[in-house]
Structure 1
Amino acid sequence: MEFEHAPNDPTRKDMSPLLKLALELGPLGVFFLFNARGEQIASALPALQALGKPIFLATAAFMVAITLSLAVSLWLTKRLPIMPLVTGVVVLVFGTLTLWLHDDLFIKLKPTIVNCLFGAVLLGGLVFGKSFLGYVFDGAFRLTNEGWRLLTLRWGLFFFVLAAINEIVWRNFSTDFWVSFKVFGVMPLTFVFALCQLPVLQRHALVQEGQDKA
C-alpha cells in the first residue's frame, strides 16, 4: 500500500528554525510566566485583578500570545502550518470557556483534546492509506512510503501518550505543577522522542535530485 503525504512546495517561504521555535514555544513561556508571577503582574496592573487567580491571567495571556504568534507566522511565511493553527484554535475556544465560566478545567483539558485529535487523525489516516504527518511537519521531510508509515504510527501513538500524561498530571497534582510540567516536562519529552526518530528519517529518506545517497 502506498501512502499519500504532503508534497514539498518549492514556492513556500521558510523562516529561520530559531524564529520558528520561538514562535511555537513563546506562548507556552508566556503562560508559565503569567501563572508564576500572576499576583505581582496583577498588582502592577490593577485592571487585570478582575480575572482572578493567576491561572486565569495566564490563560488570557496565553490566548493573546498564541494569536500574535500565528499572526507573525502568517505575515512572514504567507501561510499557517496546520499543527500550530489547530492548537491555536483549540486554545482560543477552551481559553474563552475558561475565562467565561471561570473554571480552569477547560484549559487543562486543552492538551488532552489537541493530542487526541492529532493522534486520531494520524492513525485514522493510516487506515485509509494516507499519511497526514507531512502536513504536521509542514512538508519538511521527503521519505519513502514505509518511512512515512512508521513515522506516522509512532507519532500518532505518542500523541495519545501525551494526552494520557496530561490527564494524569492535572488530575493528581496542583495547577502550578501542571503548568510547570507543560513547559519543563512535555516539551523536553517531545524533543527526546523526536530525536529518537532520527534513525527512521535517515534510513527512509529519499535522495534529492542532484544528490548522491550517502
Structure 2
Amino acid sequence: MSGERKVHPGVKLALELGPVVLFFAGYMKLREQTFEVFGSPYSGFILMTAAFIPLMLVTTGILWWLTGKLSKMQIATVVLVVVFGGLSVWFKDERFFKMKPTMIYLLFGGLLGFGLLRGQSYLKLVMEEALPMQPEGWMILTRRLCAFFFALAVANEVIWRSFSTEVWVNFKTFGLTAALFGFFMTQGGVLNRYGIEEDGETDGEKDGEQDKAD
C-alpha cells in the first residue's frame, strides 16, 4: 500500500486499546482458574497472554490495512509483545510478560535520549505532521517525554516486583494509559507557546499581536 490513509479516530482507538481491554476482562474472569492444555497446566494469566499475542497481531494488521502505514513505535510494540509474551507462554512464567512495558518504555526513552544527544528530536519525525511546532518546542517536549518514559519503566518494575498480579494488571490497563494521557494533557503550555498555525504564525506570536491590538 502506498501513502497513509485517514481512519476514524474512534476506530483507531478501538484497535489500539481493544487488545488491552480484552486482556484485562479475560484475566479478571479467569484469574483464579487453571487450565489443562495438552497435558500441561496454564494459569488464567498465561492463557490470556497467549490470546493477547494473536489479537495484537490481528488488530495491528487491520490498522495497517486501514491506514496504509504503521509507526516504528507500533512495530516495536508488536515485536516486544510477541517476544516477551511468547516467552511467558513457553516457560509458563508471568515475569516475562510483566517486563514487556519496562522494555518498551526503555526502548522509547532510549531512542529519544539518543536523538537528544545528537541535537535532534526524533519525536518530531513521527508527530510533526499531526502537531506542527517550532524546533525549540519539539526539543522541550522530547526531553520531557524521554524522562517520562524512563519514569514509567521504573514504575512498572516497582509494581510487578512488589505487588500482586492483579494489581499489576490494573496498573497496566488503567494506570499506564491514564499516565500517558495525563502527560500530554499537561503539555498545553508548550503546545500553545510553540505551536504553529496553518498560516505559519505561532500561537505565541498571535497572542502578542492580539495584545497590541487590545
User: TM-score scaled by structure 1?
Assistant: 0.85
Q: CA offset at residue 137 of structure 1?
A: 3.6
Does residue 33 of the first structure (1) align with residue 16 of the second (2)?
no
1:103 corresponds in structure 2 to: 93
Consecutive unaligned residues in structure 1, runs of 5 or more: 1-10
Contact 1:112 1:164 in 2 (8 A): yes
Distance 2:38 2:61 in 1: 24
Question: Percent of pairs identical after alignment?
Answer: 38
2:210 corresponds in structure 1 to: none
Q: Whose radius of gyration is greater, 1 or 2?
A: 2
Distance 1:138 1:33, change over 3 A: farther
Number of residue pairs matched by the alignment: 202
Does residue 165 of the first structure (1) align with residue 159 of the second (2)?
no
Contact 1:81 1:138 in 2 (8 A): no
Over the aligned positions, Cα root-mean-square deviation in angstroms equals 2.4
**1:9-158 equivalent positions in 2, closer than 5 A:** 12-38=4-30, 52-137=42-127, 139-158=129-148
Q: CA offset at residue 30 of structure 1?
A: 1.6
Distance 1:98 1:82 in 2: 24
Q: CA offset at residue 181 of structure 1?
A: 0.9
Distance 1:57 1:66 in 2: 14
Consecutive unaligned residues in structure 2, runs of 5 or more: 207-214
Distance 1:141 1:51 in 2: 49
Q: Which amino acid aligns with 1:32?
A: F
Between 1 and 2, higher relative CO (CA 8 Å, sep ≥ 6) is seen in 1
Q: CA offset at residue 89 of structure 1?
A: 0.7
Q: CA offset at residue 139 of structure 1?
A: 3.5
CA offsets per residue over residues 61-95 of structure 1, 9 Å max, x none? 21122111111111101111222221111000111
User: TM-score scaled by structure 2?
Assistant: 0.85
Contact 1:34 1:57 in 2 (8 A): no
2:209 corresponds in structure 1 to: none
Distance 1:196 1:37 in 2: 35
